[in-house]
Chains A and B, each alone.
Chain A
Amino acid sequence: MTDSEVLLETPLASLHRELGGRMVPFAGYSMPVQYPAGIMAEHLHCRAQASLFDVSHMGQAELVGEGAAAALEKLTPADVQALKPGRQRYGLLLNEAGGIVDDFMFANLGDRLFLVVNASRKHIDLPLIESVLPAGVTLRPLPDRALIALQGPAVAALVPTTLTFMGIAEIEIAGIKVLASRSGYSGEDGLEISVPADQAEALARALLAMPGVLPAGLGARDSLRLEAGLCLYGNDLDETTSPIEAALTWSIGKRRRTEWNFRGADVVRDHLDNGVKRLRVGIRPEGRQPARGHTVIQKDGAVIGEVTSGGFGPTIGAPVAMGYVARDAAADGTAIDLIVRDKPLPARIAPMPFQPHRYAR
């Protein structure tokens, strides 16, 4: 992104300004990184009550027509065809080399599939999906819909639904018809709410008027997902990373592991059968000093990997990170050194999530 390029705005842009959001460029959009409360307070508030995040920059789309699920399975090792109506699942789009093109959510809405992809990848994902569709299956981008995440333990009482974790349905909130899934990116219970752009601000205002709901920016979204051990595409996942290396093997459907009929299946199968050279792991630095993305990881003086996301975990009260290390150094408790400003910072491989998930399963 260069300064000369015009940043896109979400339907909540004027609300962000009114709330004092500090706007930064992100994936081509002007987005609030934080509000006056600050990242720490916004993060802790989400864990304690409920926070509203504007994630309208993400790509929403529908896949319609006979054979839509089978078509999507050409690109993802997830089981799309067995997903029941009213359910949502996490999946990966792969390239021919088994590398991750994007991670995304897909949902079965009965008569169609609903997709949510990353903002930074939608210009790649949507043409890619389009390219594998048979006659009769249509991809419909939904640029006129906003996406609002309401996350935190108070959400269930504020917006009661019959949904369980990863359930999705059309419901009404404050008189506005929305598509809500019981999911999110914070590790907490909550909803992701797709709403027509022209009703997004009214919905956001109605949610913010509920007791204990405060706005939170992308800064808190990032620290929350890191504590929850969730990947950020572009940091922790990219086109050179396989699902097995990324420790996302669970997202591969059981049936798909017998059929091997998705793009990149050869590499994925080889990684499953013969193991991988590197693995995504959690990392706990000693002391208070955070290690950021791209920090080199050493063990006994030899380079064994790199941090891909790192920062301070406000709920943990300590620095947390994730990254990739050589397979033989990936066991929990392994002592490593993070090279921060040319000095070794002692750390250990640690289980994720750092903060236990509190989903409504």
Chain B
Amino acid sequence: MTELKFSKDHEWVRLEGGVATIGITDHAQSALGDVVFVDLPEVGRAVTIGEAIAVVESVKAASDVYAPIAGKIVEVNSALVDNPGLINTEPTEGGWFFRIELDGALPDDLLDADGYAAFVDTLA
């Protein structure tokens, strides 16, 4: 399994063969609380880094999910439509949001697991 990279917007990125699978981190799902709805981007859409492309709604509030990399949406996790709770129960597995075909290289400000953990600690 490829190592996960993390954005400071609390997304994880798993790059395999030019396609990155992306979701929100365990820290993010815990902060959001019970997820009840997701609005996913359209397949085929070209996205740029930092663009708000999905929405996740918990019982409490709505939050944007940003594209951590540039490229084209090639797949979205339709299982989340009927079972958005997957984002809480398995945020980095079954709770993935979308797959982006990477355009160019991974941004160099993505963090590794230790770097992200240290970043989260600074937020507390």
Contact with B along A295-331 (1 / 0, CB 8 A): 0000000000000000110100001000000000000
Contact with A along B36-78 (1 / 0, CB 8 A): 1101000000000000000101111110000000000000000
CB <8 Å contact, A290 and B55: no
CB <8 Å contact, A219 and B37: no
Q: A288-B37, A290-B62, A319-B36 are in contact. List 13 more A-B contacts (CB 8 A).
A: A39-B33, A39-B58, A40-B33, A40-B34, A40-B59, A289-B37, A289-B57, A290-B57, A292-B62, A312-B37, A312-B57, A312-B59, A314-B34
CB <8 Å contact, B57 and A219: no
Nearest 6 pairs between A and B by C-beta?
Answer: A40-B34, A312-B36, A39-B59, A288-B37, A289-B37, A312-B59
B120 to A: closest C-beta gap in Å? 16
Which of chain A's residues have a CB closer than 8 A to the CB of B39?
289, 341
List CB contacts (< 8 Å) of A314-352 with chain B. Answer: 314, 319, 341
Number of interface residues of B (CB under 8 A): 14
Which of chain A's residues have a CB closer than 8 A to the CB of B60?
33, 39, 219, 311
CB <8 Å contact, A290 and B37: yes
Which of chain B's residues have a CB closer than 8 A to the CB of A341?
39, 55
Residue pairs across A and B with Cβ atoms less than 8 A apart, 12 shown, are A39-B58, A39-B60, A40-B33, A40-B59, A288-B36, A288-B84, A289-B39, A289-B57, A290-B57, A292-B61, A312-B36, A341-B39
Kindly state whether residue A183 has any CB partner on chain B within 8 Å: no
- Return the contact of A311 from the options B55, B59, B81, B84 (Cβ within 8 A): B59
CB <8 Å contact, B57 and A223: no
Which of chain B's residues have a CB closer than 8 A to the CB of A10?
none
Distance A289 CA – B33 CA, assembled complex (angstroms): 16
Which of chain A's residues have a CB closer than 8 A to the CB of B84?
288
Which of chain A's residues have a CB closer than 8 A to the CB of B33?
34, 38-40, 219
Distance A40 CA – B60 CA, assembled complex (angstroms): 10
Contact with B along A30-55 (1 / 0, CB 8 A): 00011000111101000000000000
> Contacts A289-B57, A290-B57, A312-B57 given: A39-B34 contact, CB under 8 Å?
yes
Distance A242 CA – B25 CA, assembled complex (angstroms): 46
